């Protein structure tokens, strides 16, 4: 039996290839992967891309970014998933990358200088034109909503001026523009496919520089899921449309896919650790690391969170990174544990192993222990990456990379895959549990009605009207050529008083 489902909306995003089947008025956002999971890339290339993303965290560059949660990384180079959102009145489509490391939704705007007009991802690029939307308005410097977003560092925000921003990244690229308010449209499945809209504030970029001008992996913008008040999830939750919690489950096999949900996941065996307060990223307190049950000799001060060090959860990072003082003991412990099974060697500064038995037999479990008694157990496939065979034997390399001269640990997709990861902003905690991301996920929501600097109390009331109905999926068809998913719904009158909801993610099409 599913858990109770209070009044509200669940917003889910499918990481193709997958189906999503939802009930009780969900909004779905299909996501595509920029780089196919089966596409093998050199570790050095992945590390280079991650390093650009991490910017200030890895390179100790100070004062170059105006978004407090964005860092100095370039999300265009490393964002793995993008989705389509609709903005304005009438609504217009925009393809934006999903990024838990940034706070703000921003898109390229009309008269943009340096913005790509074509994309190597084979998607149409669009430009937001505030003058063409009857509900758009710019945000002035004296508007209280301006204070929720970072402002431009190269100009004074004064009365009568637009609230502007400038972001500069570690590789020298950047974007700048101004904040606008307009409607975000969401499709809601009720008695029929309906739409609802909510007012949000987002960035309107009018200039790109550096790599952001390149068309090879260009999209229309960034969809930030960070912790600050300007993030879309914070805006929607403050209007009572969604709870202030979201989750993702990324499949780790070559089929890719997964699901991203705005709402509480109600699965058993979820463990939680507190978020470190007053941090712009999703920082959690790592206390120790164990290999094969043996705690590594690492000074606990290595993992203490300060302005220049700590442990960060980041779904936009491809690999995973250990503080230098933790990396060497980790490599030594793993290598010692598998010495009788493997031949060890270095490949481009990465510790690698040529092995004949299965890695699941030869390699130990690795345990990351966090504050609050939460542990994350990593199987060998969650800290190793495959390479081309040598003499017919499989080759695996440690996927964790060393962060030189820095005490920063970053847990990216290498570690986060094949788990439900819960970002519970409302309760200031991060949760996880191992999970088959093709299996059904039990989801619920809790809506808190409150006024917001972004939205209005009316939005909360409107959201509350979407209650007392549940629908059964009676038919599902697909258009495989375009990877579109169509749903047919029927109301079950006997279920009107039931508020249970299941979010189903079917196996991939290919």
* Residue in this structure with the two tokens 């690029």, named with its chain if needed: 125
C-alpha 275/C-alpha 335 separation (Å) is 32
Does the annotation mark 220 as catalytic?
no
Rg for the chain, CA atoms, rounded: 23
Asked if the peptide bond before residue 208 counts as cis, ω within 30 degrees of 0, the response is no
User: What does residue 101 show for φ and ψ, rounded to 5 degrees?
Assistant: -95, 0
With contact defined as beta carbons under 8 Å apart, do 106 and 148 qualify? no
Three-class secondary structure of residue 321 per DSSP = strand
Helix ranges restricted to H, 278-389: 324-337, 359-362
Q: What are phi and psi of 400, to 5 degrees?
A: -70, 140
CB 198 within 8 A of CB 88: no
- Can you say whether the dihedral through the CA atoms of 197, 201, 206, 212 is positive or negative? negative
Instruction: Report how far residue 97's alpha carbon sits from residue 29's, in angstroms, rounded to the nearest whole number.
Output: 12
Q: Cβ distance 480 to 277 under 8 Å?
A: no
Q: Indicate if 314 belongs to the active site.
A: yes
Cα–Cα distance between 394 and 346 in angstroms, integer?
Answer: 15
- Report strand pairing: 193-209 vs 106-113: parallel
Q: Are strands 106-113 and 137-138 parallel, antiparallel or unpaired?
A: unpaired
Bridge-based pairing of strands 419-424 and 408-411 is unpaired
Collapsed DSSP state (helix, strand, coil) of residue 32: strand
| DSSP class of 71 | T
Among the options 99, 103, 418, 424, which is catalytic? 99
Catalytic residue among 211, 314, 413, 424: 314
- Note the Cα 30 to chain centre separation in Å: 14
Tokens of 501: 């909801």
Residues classed as catalytic: 99, 314
């Amino acid at each position: 039996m599913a858990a109770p489902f209070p009044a509200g909306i669940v917003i889910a995003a499918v990481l193709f290839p997958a189906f999503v089947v939802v009930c009780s008025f969900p909004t779905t956002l299909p996501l595509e992967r920029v780089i196919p999971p089966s596409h093998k890339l050199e570790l050095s290339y992945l590390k280079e891309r991650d390093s650009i993303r991490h910017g200030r965290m890895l390179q100790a560059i100070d004062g170059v970014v105006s978004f407090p949660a964005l860092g100095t990384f370039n999300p265009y180079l490393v964002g793995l998933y993008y989705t389509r959102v609709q903005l304005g009145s009438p609504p217009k489509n925009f393809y934006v990358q999903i990024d838990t490391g940034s706070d703000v939704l921003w898109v390229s705007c009309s008269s943009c200088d340096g913005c790509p007009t074509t994309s190597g991802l084979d998607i149409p690029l669009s430009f937001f034109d505030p003058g063409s939307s009857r509900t758009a308005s710019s945000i002035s410097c004296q508007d209280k909503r301006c204070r929720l977003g970072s402002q431009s560092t190269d100009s004074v925000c004064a009365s009568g001026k637009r609230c502007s921003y400038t972001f500069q990244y570690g590789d020298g690229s950047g974007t700048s523009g101004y904040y606008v308010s307009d409607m975000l449209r969401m499709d809601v499945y009720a008695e029929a496919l309906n739409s609802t809209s909510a007012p949000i504030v987002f960035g309107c970029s009018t200039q790109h520089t550096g790599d952001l001008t390149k068309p090879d992996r260009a999209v229309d913008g960034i969809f930030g899921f960070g912790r600050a008040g300007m993030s879309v999830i914070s805006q929607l939750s403050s209007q009572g449309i969604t709870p202030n919690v979201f989750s993702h489950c990324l499949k780790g096999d070559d089929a890719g896919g997964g699901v991203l949900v705005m709402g509480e996941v109600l699965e058993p065996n979820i463990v939680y650790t507190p978020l470190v307060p007053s941090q712009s990223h999703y920082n959690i307190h790592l206390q120790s690391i164990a290999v094969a049950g043996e705690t590594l000799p690492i000074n606990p001060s290595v993992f203490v969170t300060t302005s220049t060090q700590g442990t960060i959860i980041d779904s936009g990072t491809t690999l995973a990174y250990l503080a230098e003082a933790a990396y060497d003991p980790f490599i030594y412990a793993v290598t010692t544990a598998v010495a009788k099974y493997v031949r060890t060697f270095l490949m481009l500064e990465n510790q690698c192993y040529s092995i004949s038995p299965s890695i699941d037999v030869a390699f130990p479990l690795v345990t990351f222990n966090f504050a609050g008694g939460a542990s994350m157990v990593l199987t060998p496939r969650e800290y190793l990456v495959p390479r081309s065979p040598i003499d017919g034997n499989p080759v695996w390399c440690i996927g964790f990379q060393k962060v030189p001269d820095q005490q920063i640990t970053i847990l990216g997709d290498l570690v986060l895959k094949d788990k439900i990861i819960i970002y519970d902003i409302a309760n200031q905690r991060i949760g996880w549990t191992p999970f088959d991301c093709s299996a059904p996920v039990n989801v619920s929501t809790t809506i808190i009605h409150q006024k917001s600097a972004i939205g209005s109390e009316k939005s909360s009331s409107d959201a509350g009207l979407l209650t007392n109905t549940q629908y059964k999926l009676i038919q599902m068809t697909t258009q495989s050529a375009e990877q579109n998913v169509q749903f047919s719904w029927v109301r079950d009158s006997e279920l009107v008083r039931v508020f249970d909801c299941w979010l189903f993610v079917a196996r991939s099409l290919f």
